[in-house]
Amino acid sequence: MHLTSAAIAAVAAGIAFAGAAIGAGIGDGLLFSRIIEGVGRQPESKSLLQSTAWIYFALVEAMPVIVLVFGFVLMGHQ
């Protein structure tokens, strides 16, 4: 069986997409579970924790977008 470089790049991009999606899901889950835990312990810090959570949420979600762009660039170089 002969695999072309385009097929290998497509498989690599798919694995990268899956890893980024799984990592972002785990990261989001950990982030918001800790925010809920923090608000439960100190309800007066809700606004500070909530605003910080949205910043970190955006940073966590940026990684799959970066991987998506990198994967398309990788597949485009064939």
CB atoms inside a 10 Å sphere around CB 67 = 19
Of residues 25 and 74, more confidently modeled: 25
Query: Taking 90 as the threshold, does the pLDDT of residue 12 lie above it?
Result: no
* Per-residue confidence (pLDDT) for residue 27, from 0 to 100: 95
CATH class of 5-76: mainly alpha
Buried b (16+ CB within 10 A) or exposed e, 28-42: eeebeeebeebbeee
Dump pLDDT digits (tens) for 46-62: 999 999 999 999 999 99
* Per-residue confidence (pLDDT) for residue 78, from 0 to 100: 58
| In the chain, domain spans | 5-76
Dump pLDDT digits (tens) for 13-71: 899 999 999 999 999 999 999 999 999 999 999 999 999 999 999 999 999 999 989 88
What distance in Å separates the CA atoms of residue 42 and residue 60, rounded to the nearest whole number? 24
